[in-house]
């Protein structure tokens, strides 16, 4: 593939914590729509389009699919077919922490699981190394030092360049960051769920990340698609909510729909879509290094990426949004 030479010109990359890495304001996640059960050419087109538009950061995990593992396989195929010459221009992340294979060593946070899982991920993606290897969720049964030791080991082996944490609460994040720092492999990034509809990260996590010099990659930044205009008049047949998976229809309460309608009106009055407003709102905070989004079509991806054309939120707009979010 001949990549557009101007692809980096209009993207305002953001520093990831206190590290040397800069990330695009919007990154592409491959949780859904990039698996073996999806249409390969659509997945390929979205990855290519993202790269063409300066998205350098791609977020995966061992279990993304379905079936689990297949998003990494698809991504590896696209890399080989189209982007092999650009590997050094990309930040490729993967994770381990959720159920991946049967038995006691295919889940959570043991050194055994994390180490084997990363090897499997590298094989599926046909890579020598990933840029970021995350522990996907805390493991109450495994000593934190063991899980962090496994991340540090992966970095020392050269199988990952940086360590990351996801879904860790603030105190545990501080503890994990201290261990990783002591091991000489500081935590680069944390990945929390954060959007207009889930502000848990504002309850101490963002502060911890700033104190520790760790970047923040928000996930489900569009609340799995709720923060788009698609649910304003019901549930479209092709939408995630109609598929009976990770976004149950019970999430679309009257109160949520009412908020969405108000937010949509604010967005439209400013010449933006609701999705764009939701991302601009997240990126108003410099502690957010990048907002990871998902997409099902190239048109969705383009619409979302267009948010970066006008970043920044006036105090009046922020106040108007705050009054809706409460």
Ligand X SMILES: NC(=O)c1ccc[n+]([C@@H]2O[C@H](COP(=O)([O-])OP(=O)(O)OC[C@H]3O[C@@H](n4cnc5c(N)ncnc54)[C@H](OP(=O)(O)O)[C@@H]3O)[C@@H](O)[C@H]2O)c1
Q: Which is nearer to ligand X, 117 or 167 (CB)?
A: 167
Residue 109 in contact with ligand X, rule: CB under 6 A: no
Binder among 16, 43, 59, 288 for ligand X (CB under 6 A): 59
CB 97 within 8 A of CB 135: yes
Single out the segment in contact with ligand X by CB under 6 A; choices: 2-10, 24-32, 116-124, 316-324.
24-32
Single out the segment in contact with ligand X by CB under 6 A; choices: 7-15, 26-34, 113-121, 174-182.
26-34
Q: Which is nearer to ligand X, 150 or 222 (CB)?
A: 222
Q: How many CB atoms lie within 10 A of CB 204?
A: 14
Q: Which is nearer to ligand X, 75 or 219 (CB)?
A: 219
Shortest Cβ 148–ligand X spacing (Å) = 17
Residue 133 in contact with ligand X, rule: CB under 6 A: no
**Total residues in contact with ligand X, by rule CB under 6 A:** 30
Q: Which is nearer to ligand X, 52 or 182 (CB)?
A: 52
Residue 219 in contact with ligand X, rule: CB under 6 A: yes
Residue 23 in contact with ligand X, rule: CB under 6 A: no
User: Which residues neighbour 137 within 8 Å (Cβ) at sequence distance 6 or greater?
Assistant: 97, 98, 108, 109, 166, 167, 168
The 3 state secondary structure assigned to 22-70 is EECCEEEECCCCCCCCCCHHHHHHHHHHHHHCCCCEEECCCCCCCCCCH
Q: Which is nearer to ligand X, 117 or 224 (CB)?
A: 224
Question: Interaction with ligand X in 163-182: which residues (CB under 6 A)?
Answer: 166-167
Q: State the DSSP string of 255-272.
A: HHHHHHHHHHHHHHHTT-
* Two tokens, residue 10: 């209009």
Shortest Cβ 106–ligand X spacing (Å) = 17
CA distance 326 to 315: 16
Q: Which is nearer to ligand X, 110 or 167 (CB)?
A: 167
Angle at alpha carbon of residue 325, lines to 168 and 200, rounded to 5°: 10
**Beta strands 130-135; 160-166: pairing state:** parallel
CA distance 52 to 48: 6
Place of tokens 């990952």: 160
Single out the segment in contact with ligand X by CB under 6 A; choices: 81-89, 140-148, 299-307, 317-325.
299-307
Shortest Cβ 5–ligand X spacing (Å) = 26
CA distance 29 to 26: 10
Residue 295 in contact with ligand X, rule: CB under 6 A: yes
Q: How many CB atoms lie within 10 A of CB 42?
A: 15
Residue 29 in contact with ligand X, rule: CB under 6 A: yes
Binding site for ligand X (CB under 6 A): 29-33, 59, 136, 166-167, 191, 219-225, 228, 230, 239-240, 275, 292-296, 300, 303-304
């Amino acid at each position: 593939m001949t990549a557009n030479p101007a692809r980096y010109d209009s993207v305002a990359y953001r520093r990831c914590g206190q590290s040397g890495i800069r990330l695009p304001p919007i990154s592409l996640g491959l949780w859904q729509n990039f698996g073996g059960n999806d249409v390969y050419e659509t997945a390929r087109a979205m990855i290519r389009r993202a790269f063409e538009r300066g998205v350098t950061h791609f977020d995966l995990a061992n279990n993304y699919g379905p079936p689990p593992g297949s998003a990494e396989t698809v991504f590896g195929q696209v890399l080989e077919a189209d982007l092999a010459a650009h590997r050094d221009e990309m930040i490729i992340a993967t994770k381990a922490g959720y159920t991946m294979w049967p038995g006691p060593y295919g889940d959570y946070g043991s050194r055994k699981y994390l180490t084997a899982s990363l090897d499997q991920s590298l094989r599926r993606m046909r890579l020598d190394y990933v840029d970021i290897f995350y522990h996907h969720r805390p493991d109450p049964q495994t000593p934190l030092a063991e899980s962090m030791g496994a991340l540090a080991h992966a970095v020392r082996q050269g199988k990952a360049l940086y360590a990351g944490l996801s879904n860790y609460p603030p105190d545990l994040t501080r503890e994990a960051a201290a261990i990783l720092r002591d091991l000489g492999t500081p935590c680069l990034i944390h990945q929390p769920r954060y959007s207009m509809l889930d502000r848990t990260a504002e309850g101490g996590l963002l502060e911890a990340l700033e104190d520790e010099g760790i970047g923040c990659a928000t996930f489900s930044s569009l609340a799995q698609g709720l923060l788009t205009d698609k649910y304003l008049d019901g549930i479209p047949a092709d939408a995630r909510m109609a598929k009976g998976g990770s976004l149950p229809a019970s999430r679309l309460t009257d109160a949520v729909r009412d908020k969405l309608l108000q937010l949509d009106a604010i967005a439209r009055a400013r010449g933006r879509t609701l999705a764009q407003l939701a991302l601009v709102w997240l990126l108003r905070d410099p502690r957010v290094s990048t907002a990871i989004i998902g997409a099902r079509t190239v048109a969705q991806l383009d619409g979302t990426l267009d948010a970066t054309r006008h970043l920044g939120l006036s105090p009046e707009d922020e106040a108007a949004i705050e009054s809706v979010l409460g």
